[in-house]
């Protein structure tokens, strides 16, 4: 893309050429900073932290529900997955209808086919959002992290 910008700028006045070169250099510098940031912290520079809900469950509850649906669509960008400490390949699962209904908030661990679903389960059919994990130790670590973040007990339930 930068070659195309520079070739178009060659036919422009000197001031336009100078601004085009500066814009291309700035874009390259931002890309280098982005790569460095990803290597150091795992968090991208571009993502605004102030717009992020505090937890994945808060993000889920803030999603609009389209007419004709009973729950929001569970899709996160790769950058937002990293902000919530999830791997880029993480798959979100709606917890509505999984397991027994209880009268208190809890961290639920559901053994399912080919893995485990871990998430915050709301009382009385309130649903929630969970993350699918293939390895039991990763599911256990995520459940412990959620328990500490939210202050809820961990309950292993069978779907």
Does residue 48 lie in a domain region?
Answer: no
- Counting the structural domains of the chain, the total is 2
What pLDDT score does 42 carry? 62
Whether residue 120 is contained in a domain is answered as: yes
Does 139 lie in the same domain as 76? yes
User: Where in the sequence is the domain holding 112, given as residue range(s)?
Assistant: 56-156
- pTM of the prediction? 0.60
- Residues 34 and 108 both lie in one domain: no
Confidence at residue 1, expressed as pLDDT on a 0 to 100 scale: 47
**Rounded-to-10 torsion of CA 143, 145, 151, 152:** 0
User: For 43-55, what is each residue's pLDDT tens digit?
Assistant: 555 554 556 667 7
Low-confidence stretches of the chain (pLDDT beneath 70): 1-11, 41-53, 69, 71-73, 157-159
3-state secondary structure of 108: strand
Q: Do residues 61 and 120 share a domain?
A: yes
For residues 81 and 130, membership in a common domain is answered with: yes
Q: Do 64 and 130 fall into the same domain?
A: yes
6 and 74 share one domain = no
């Amino acid at each position: 893309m930068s070659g195309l910008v520079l070739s178009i700028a060659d036919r422009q006045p000197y001031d336009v050429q100078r601004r085009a070169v500066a814009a291309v250099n700035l874009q390259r510098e931002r890309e280098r900073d982005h790569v460095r940031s990803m290597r150091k912290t795992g968090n991208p520079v571009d993502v605004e932290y102030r717009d992020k809900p505090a937890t994945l469950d808060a993000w889920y509850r803030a999603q609009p529900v389209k007419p004709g649906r009973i729950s929001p669509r569970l899709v996160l960008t790769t950058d937002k997955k990293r902000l919530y400490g999830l791997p880029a390949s993480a798959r979100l699962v709606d917890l509505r209808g999984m397991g027994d209904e209880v009268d208190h908030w809890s961290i639920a661990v559901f053994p399912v086919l080919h893995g485990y679903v871990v998430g915050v389960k709301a009382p009385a059919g309130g649903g929630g959002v969970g993350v699918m994990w293939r390895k039991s130790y990763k599911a256990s670590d995520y459940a412990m992290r959620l328990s500490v973040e939210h202050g809820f007990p961990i309950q292993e339930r069978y779907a």
